[in-house]
Amino acid sequence: MTSSPDSRIPTPESRRPDTLVCVVFYNEKDRLGATLARFPSNRDYDVVVVDDGSTDRSAEDAERSGFRVIRHPTNRGIGAAIRSGMDAALAGGYDYFVVTAGSGKLLPEELPVVLDPVREGTCDYCQGSRFLRGEHTTNFPAHRKWMIKGFNLFVLLLMGRWFSDVTCGYRAYTTKLLRDPRVNIHQPWLDRYEMEYYVHYKALTGGYRILEVPVTVAYPADEKQYSKIRPIVGWFSMLRPWLLLRLGLRN
């Protein structure tokens, strides 16, 4: 008698992806749909779209995309949106987590550039960079370029390690980092821009391997729309995790 394959053993076609990609957005009605459409249909990762309380009906574009959507009833901050994606990755048992933006500035087709080094074991945390050889960033506002370089210098002086682009939002992590008991992503003070820099600090001080790779950031031609970061308030939100953690005032 011929034996049949054990149905309990997943086939390559049925095996669940090991990576969850989180697309965060807030009021991106004019850009979100086009961004989501750029993800390939034959992808080997799952996608979750996190709406941080949009009021411009862009959440409806996300739901029409066919991707899983997590909606915040009110705007809580990009850190809270990223946390919702991280929680989904941890609850789903994924090995890797990627965060990117729904604004169209970060290109879905470049996702393997950021993800593959983590998947292949080259590093534990990989971040895109607008300053490494090979990047093709367009319409880069000059004042933003110099502010980023100043931020990089601040991190160098504080931590003793140089990064070419600490602020780029294209990031991939092993979820082992997020499960580390020394890392607590559920602290309320991480709801705004603090989250990404908190995790970066924890990766740096926790002995995790960090790698930067060149990516494209496609800024819109209209500089008024290039970023939602509020002057002074937003930049302080990005700086303070480094200071508070370095001084031992937060954990």
Q: Which of 70, 54, 76 is nearest to 189 (CA)?
A: 76
Q: Which long-range contacts (CB under 8 A, 24 or more apart) does 158-164 make?
A: 158/242, 158/243, 158/246, 159/201, 159/204, 159/242, 159/246, 161/204, 163/127, 163/129, 163/210, 163/212, 164/129, 164/131, 164/132, 164/212
Radius of gyration of the chain (CA): 19
Whether 204 contacts 161, CB under 8 Å: yes
Give the pLDDT score at 222.
67
Burial class of residue 9 (count of CB atoms within 10 Å of its CB; 0-12, 13-18, 19+): exposed
Using pLDDT thresholds of 50, 70 and 90, give the confidence band for residue 135: confident
Separation CA 235–CA 107 (nearest Å): 24
pLDDT band at 155 (very low <50, low <70, confident <90, very high): very high
Strands (E), the chain: 19-25, 46-51, 68-71, 96-101, 125-129, 171-174, 210-214
pLDDT score for 2: 41
Q: pLDDT tens for residues 169-209? A: 999 999 999 999 999 999 999 999 999 999 999 999 999 99
pTM of this structure:
0.90
- Looking at CATH, the fold of the domain delimited by 19-246 is given as Spore Coat Polysaccharide Biosynthesis Protein SpsA; Chain A (3.90.550)
pLDDT digits (tens, 9 = 90+) for 112-124: 999 999 999 999 9
Burial category of 81 from C-beta neighbours within 10 Å (exposed 0-12, middle 13-18, buried 19 and up): buried
pLDDT (0 to 100) of residue 88: 98
SS3 70: strand
Q: Provide the phi-psi class of 104: left if phi over 0, else alpha when psi is between -120 and 50, else beta.
A: left
Antiparallel, parallel or unpaired: β 96-101 and 46-51: unpaired
Each residue's pLDDT tens digit, 14-68: 568 999 999 999 999 889 999 999 999 999 999 999 999 999 989 898 999 999 9
What distance in Å separates the CA atoms of residue 176 and residue 65, rounded to the nearest whole number? 30
pLDDT of residue 133: 83
- Identity at 126, one-letter amino acid code: C
